[in-house]
Every structure is written in C-alpha cells, then in structure tokens.
Chain A
C-alpha cells in the first residue's frame, strides 16, 4: 500500500517527522500524509464510513452484495475488489475491529448510530467465515464458481452482480457534473444507491475535515493511496461542480433522506471548492494550505496532483515532430528530455523519426538525453501501421521500417552522449527494446517490461534478440568454455513465452535491465533521478560502446537444441504449429543464424538475422491473423 499516515504526538520533534517523511517518501516510495490523532485517522475514518454507508444503502435498497460490488469497483474509479470483496480481503474480523473502534471511540460522531456491526457480518465472524483467509466470507469459491452470500436465501449462490445498462450509460458520461445530476435524477435503484453513497461520503467528509485532517488534499490522497480510489471525495465533488453538489446534498439533508440530519459546515457554502492552485482548504484553520516544503519533494518534478491543483509546467520545448517532444527541465537545462506523444506511447514511424532526430540533436547540443514520459513507457510498435502496410502488400516498406526501428535502437545505444531510459509502467515490445538499448535505465519498481511480440506472431526485431544474444555472449566470455548457449535458454523462453516482468527487479533478472541500473521506489522521483544520472554519466566522460565488435554465437546446434524444446511442447499439445514457427524464428535470431557454433559476428549481422526472420513471419497468414485480432479485440489470438 502506498499510504503512510504520520501521526505526531504532542511531544514529537518536527525534525523527527521530517526525517521520517523523507525516508518513507524516497527510500520506501510511500505517499505520506500527516494526520491528526483521531480514531481510525484519515483513510480508515472515511474509508470505513464509506463501507458502512454502502452496507446501509445495500440493505435499505435490497441490493445484493455482488451487485453492489459491480457498482462500486472500477465503474466509479475504485479498486476492483470494490466494497464487499475488499472486506473479505481485509478480513471480516479486522473489519469488525475497525468498525468497533469507531463505535467505541466516536460517541459524539453524528453518524454514530450507523457504527453498529450488521447482524449478518457478526454471524459470519462468529462462525469463522472471516473472508479470503478463511476460504469463505461474503464471497467464497466453490470449485471454479465464485459464490456470494445471499441474505434472503440465508446461503451462498453464484455471484452474478451486474450494472444495469441504464446506469452503465450514466457512469460512462465524461462530464462528472452531468453524471451526478443523472444519477440523482434516475429512479433506477442502482443509480439511487450510487448517488446516496456519494452524497453521504461528501456529507461525512465535509463534516469531519476540520477534525481529522490538516487540509482537503490530505483526505483525497489518503483515499487514493489507502483505498485505491482514483479520486478522493473532495476532488470528485469539486470536479462535479462544488455548488451544485453542495446544494444537492443540502437538499437531501433537508428532505431527511441523507444518513444524518447534521447540516453541512458553513464553509461549504462560502467556497467554490477546496483545491486551488495555491493549495487546499483547511477547515480547522479556514485557510488555503500549500504543499509541504520538505526538501524531499523537490525530487518530484511532476508530483501527483489532486484535481483542482495547479498543473505543472512541462519544461521548455526544444523541438518536436508528430511522434515526440524534445524539451528540457530547469533542474538541468544541459540534459535534453524526449517524450513520446502517441496514444499509449505506441511506436510508429513518426516516433522513430523523432527519436533519431532527438538523439542527433542531443549529440550536437546537449550533454545527455533522457527518454521519459508518463506511464506507460511504451506499449510497442504501432500495429495499425504494420497492418495497413501488410494490407497494401508493402513488405518493402515494412522491412524499411524495421530497419529504421533498429537504427533508432542503435542510436540510443551508441549515442555520443549518455542516454537514460526513465521507465514506469508498461514497456513492451519496441518500448522494451528502447529500454534495453539505452545506455542506462532508471526504473520505477512498478515496471512491466517484456518482449511480447510472440503474442502477435512476431519476434523482437528492434534489436531485442540481438541484445539478448550479446548478453549471452558477454556472460559466456567470462566463463570457461565461452559457450553462449548456456545463457540463451532462459532468454529464449522469455521471448517465446512473451514473458513480462512483474517488477523492475524482475526485469533485471529477465535481462531487460542490468545490475548497475537504478531501481526507484518512488515513481514521482523518476525523472529527477534520470536527469541526475545522465548528468553524472556525462561528467564521468561517457563513451559509447564500440560498434562492430564481434561476439561468439551459439549457431546451428544452438537453434536445434532450442528447437527440441519446441518439439516437446508441440507434441505435448502446449503450443501450436505457428507458436513453434515463431519461437524457432526467435531461436534463430538469438543463435546468430544458421552458422557454426562459436562463429564471431557483429551487431549488424545479428540485426539482419532478426530482421529477416521478422519479415518472413509478417508474410505468414497466421501472424497476419494475430495482428488483425489484436487490433480488433485487444487480445492475443491463439492460432
């Protein structure tokens, strides 16, 4: 969990808090807020109230637990486990303890009557159905079926909760003001339920703000980082129209349909929102509180912002084309930054042109180049462009594009100034190849990196196979025997199975990152560290690796031995004939082609082998079907 709430005692020295907050932020990568010493602090106070409100309205409206979870998960920007599944994961006994804390310690809370343990929840706890850890709770698994507790049936039934089409349409509205207006106006019980829980959370959050938190920003971040909400209650409210929501909540309170008759605090009607460029509202001190001035936050060049806060300036533009933007940040104006602009940062022709140009400009005008963009880093090649070229029978064009892809990778690798890839989120296919070719990598822990081309019937041809072959040769060179084959087997399976790392550290184990790379726990510090790293490399007199150095490859017996693995998998019914063909192409590229073992080849040879194999695969109907299917469904085709 990202959230850490720091609660000082009356005698805690400020410098202790500052040191601890800095440590938590950089070393552990946490999102830190300072909370007041009140029961359940901030996240659990609002979050558990949110669950209690959901329970209250579930019962009041006669909805099923599965139906409520369908409504209160990703559809409203919350975690997939939604409400009741979250309770199961946390443990129902723990849930009971947390609710009891509110019951016992908040006698004056105006919602105190709702802090009772629902009878059904107590029954589950009493009989040991404590949720996931006990194998049963509100949900349970029976064979392959997920079942949900049904209070009417007094037993479990198949979980089948779904969002009604009418409500789904409302939830898909882009404009939050229209969305809340529609929810409130709808007679559908699901819509009424959703409006009710939002209304009561707004009501409760506004009422408690002055007691539990220094400012509204801390509440919103607590809910983002602690409960996995995309937005906290105040930013949701503000984005939906502060006054409109305030009036609606007040009207419901007046009408007696809100959970409490307590009026909204007066400040709600005196303001037009709680977040503004200068900071966020403090109800306790009736002022706007700016962000923390702790030094550690200077490392976050683009910190996470709540809605309504100021947008950060995106540096000074240097140059751009359709695919990339080259710019610089005041932290180090001597290091250029290049950012991919395309959707999901897919790599198309214009991105390749842009990268090639950016490297050339960096070599001419700057001391280093950082490749950085908001996550995902890059999801791979632009398949639409590939498919269109296939449809037009322009394989010559495709081959030229692959060659350009390889030139872009090689430009990153052999740039005269250090290139640093700052990676967060997905770096797949061609994105992964750029990561592999950069002179250095700065990786956020949450990085999912992989050469996934096999999923669309292809092999890495932006230098990915070549880099793995070089890695194996490099390790082998230091071993007795100088046989790269030993080190190719795992790399081969990584490509053949389109494996993706679950973390940056795993990416290192898989060969996508290296021992000396930087692994960053706080993703907000990524660009800062990348700029500093590029500067350090430049200051240390960066020299790119020499071109044309020859390495030993595994050759023909290497291909045959890897192919034998495929024979077994195919005969065992684990892979298709086309999987076999694709993987054999990868084996061929990794082993340096149909040459004798130990043959010395250079980068250009290896690139030519992977390029030829790639183009040959492109011409197969099975690969073309996979690409088409991926474009149409977003999912891989098994053929």
Chain B
C-alpha cells in the first residue's frame, strides 16, 4: 500500500473534441490545443487561484517537433497562467494521459501539493511519421536473445494477439461496428456535452484575389471519428494492413487522431477551503509489463493489480473505459478477464472516437468522471494497452 496521507479529488475535467488525423485539427498545434484545455478546465473552477497550482503534468506519446521542447510548460505559458506555474511532459505512450492523472494525484496523496493539473495532448496530423519524427533503433535489439518485438508495428502486435487469443475477423468487425453505433448514439444523445469544450480552429489562408492573408475560423464541438454508416458489410471489404493473411484492418483498429484534455485535482483540504464540488475521487493506478509482441493484452495484467491495490472488486466496476487500440486486443482483454461488455465503453471507444495517443488517458478520464456523474455510478476504470508491452489501469470513485 502507498503511504497516502490524503485523497485526491477531480474537481474539473474537460477535453477538446477529437479530430481525425488530417481532419479538423490538421494544422492545429498541440501546444495550442493544450493551452485551450488548460484555460477551459480552470474556467470550470474559478475559485482556484492559478498561483496555487503545484504542477501541470502533461502526457504526450511523441514529445518532439511541434509537441517537443517540454510542451507542458509551453502550454502553461500559452494558456496565460502565471510564470509560477510549472509544467512537465511525461511519456508512457498510450497511457501518458492517465499516467499524468496518476502522478498528479500522487503528489496530492503524498501531501506534496494541494492543486494539480493533469493533461494530455497529441497531434498525429502534424507528426511526419507514426513512430515519431525520427525513429532509430539500437542494433542491439537484433541480438539472438534481443528484443526485436520492440519495433513491431502496433497492428502486427494486434495480429499476434488475434492469433493467440483466437479472435476472429468477424468478431473484430462486429466489435468495431458496435463501437461506432455506441459513439454515434452518445453524440446524438448529447452525452459528451458536459466533457467537451468546443475549440475554434483559426486557419491563416491566402486570399489570392486580394493578395492578402485571411483568417478562416471553424468551430469544432463534436468528435470527428464516429461513422454512423459503419456496417459489418463495409468493414468486411477492408484488407488486412499488417499481415498478408491477417485479420486486423483499418476498420477494426483505433483511428489516428488529434486531441487534448485536462483535469484539475485537489486535496480534501482544498476541496473544503474553496468549497469545490468534486466529480470523482482518484482511487488508484497500476501499470504492468507484458511481452512486447502482444502488447495489447497489457490490461489483463494491469487491471488485477489496480483492483488489488484499491480493494475494488471487478464486479463492482460500473463503467470501464478500455481504450480500443484494436478490436482484437479489446476482445482478448474482455474475454480473458470476463469483463461485462455492456459496461465496457458504453459511449464507444477509440475505434470510433479516435486515439490521440498520449492524450487519450486524460480524455477518457474526462469521459468517465462526467459519465459516472450523469449516471450516478460509483466505480469507474480507465485502462489501456501500451506500446513495447505494458498495460495501465486507473480507478475512480464517482461522487
């Protein structure tokens, strides 16, 4: 057990709508998205004096180029926060955003801070390559007992999981269609309204006739990924991308996306002092390593750890945000742990909503804390697999 001295509470959480790669945020900088998320989340808790913020921890899976140079600190300054507010960028690939929440909570739980912000930001549109601006492998990974699977494409690992856990193409496609159906229904019902802060994209474009630059504005308030017309038939036509005789397609994989989110956490003392209304209590977080070639099963190891840590039983979980990196790994995790499919991603997952890598953990935290408040549910979990072979899971108590 940790040496916890106090609890950490989430008092505000928001996210931008998620854009498809090369979609509505194709030219939007990740530091601008982050700054917008920080401003927006603090606007929800005007009682908090920004000077009280102990640190801003930002998850980002490819912290380089446009999102390099410690994007956290840049986002803080672009958001207009005081110079006294620090910022740190952290990276654990796809769990970076959730890791940021956990680390922010831990600072409070250890009594080192009373107000923290956890966030995530990621652009996959502006990054020139999937694996970063310049990927370079150590020749040592090819040693006979080396770790060549470190370099497996994520889709290839999903193929390995599909083979080992015997997840059929038909099941993967059906899972993907259901993700789109749930997400589309959630958007129609307005279930994301509480967590989304609209963002107005400003594009500087040439007006050739006037020989001048004009600024075009476009308001974005809805996730761009979900496809209402997704069907088993349409997905069945797609060819496997990662293996000649595989089953993982672009249709049953998560979408590459752009997005950002931010969460404000405070101590119980601050909760009372500023008369803040908590959305949720942070209950615990765990990570676990698994073989790199089947990284998709990471949650199978991480979930039992966090449940043991928090004392929450699996059957007590009301809402599980299981990041859908791939339908194959989602189904393997659901089946192996016996998770209730109805409780997993009730509003759809990354196959429909998109997966802006390092931002996703913070985004799904915003989803679960607002979702549990709306549905008056008690226990929620955010969990995901992580490239190079890890899993992460965080538990939240709805209040």
Contact = CB atoms under 8 A, between A and B. Distances in A.
B152 interface: yes
Contacts of A560: 136-139, 141-142
A572 B159 contact: yes
Interface size class of B (residues with CB under 8 A): 10 to 19
B174 interface: no
Given A483-B134, A561-B136, A568-B153, A573 B244 contact: yes
Interface in A471-509: 483, 485-486
Given A567-B152, A568-B156, A561 B137 contact: yes
Contacts of A486: 134
Interface string B127-168: 000000011111101100000100111001001000000000
Interface in A568-620: 568, 571-574
B242 A572 contact: yes
A564 B142 CA distance: 9
Nearest to B135: A561
Given A572-B243, A573-B243, A573-B245, A567 B148 contact: yes
Nearest to B129: A489
Interface in B101-145: 134-139, 141-142
A559 interface: yes
A564 B156 contact: no
A144 to B, nearest CB: 15
Interface string A535-574: 0000000000000000000001111110110011001111
B136 A563 contact: no
Quick one: which of A485, A557, A558, A572 has the most chain B CB within 10 A? A572
B243 A564 contact: no
Given A563-B142, A564-B148, A571 B137 contact: no
Nearest to A558: B136
Contacts of B159: 572
Contacts of A558: 136
A556 B245 contact: no
**Majority SS at the chain A contact face:** helix
Nearest to B133: A486
A485 B244 contact: no
B246 interface: yes
Contacts of A571: 152, 156, 243
Given A564-B151, A567-B148, A571-B152, A557 B242 contact: no
A561 B242 CA distance: 18
A486 B242 CA distance: 23
Quick one: which of A483, A559, A573 has the most chain B CB within 10 A? A573
A557 B139 contact: yes
Contacts of A572: 156, 159, 242-244, 246
A574 B243 contact: yes
Nearest to A584: B142
Interface string B302-313: 000000000000
Interface in B206-262: 242-246
B139 A556 contact: yes
A486 B134 CA distance: 8
Nearest to A567: B148
Contacts of A574: 243-244
Contact of A559 (B139, B148, B156, B246): B139
A247 B208 CA distance: 71
B246 to A, nearest CB: 7
Interface string B81-113: 000000000000000000000000000000000
A257 B245 CA distance: 58
Given A559-B139, A563-B142, A573-B243, A568 B152 contact: yes
Quick one: which of A486, A571, A573, A574 has the most chain B CB within 10 A? A571
B152 A557 contact: no
Contacts of A573: 243-246
A560 B136 CA distance: 8
Contacts of B148: 564, 567
B238 to A, nearest CB: 16
Interface in A89-105: none
A228 B56 CA distance: 71
A561 B141 CA distance: 10
The 6 A-B pairs with the shortest beta carbon distances in the complex, nearest first, are A564-B151, A572-B243, A573-B244, A560-B139, A560-B137, A557-B136
7 contacts: A564-B135, A564-B137, A567-B151, A568-B156, A568-B242, A572-B246, A574-B244
Interface of B: 134-139, 141-142, 148, 151-153, 156, 159, 242-246
Interface of A: 483, 485-486, 556-561, 563-564, 567-568, 571-574
Given A486-B134, A560-B136, 20 more contacts: A557-B137, A557-B139, A559-B139, A560-B137, A560-B139, A560-B141, A561-B137, A564-B135, A564-B151, A568-B151, A568-B156, A571-B152, A571-B156, A572-B159, A572-B242, A572-B243, A572-B246, A573-B244, A573-B245, A573-B246
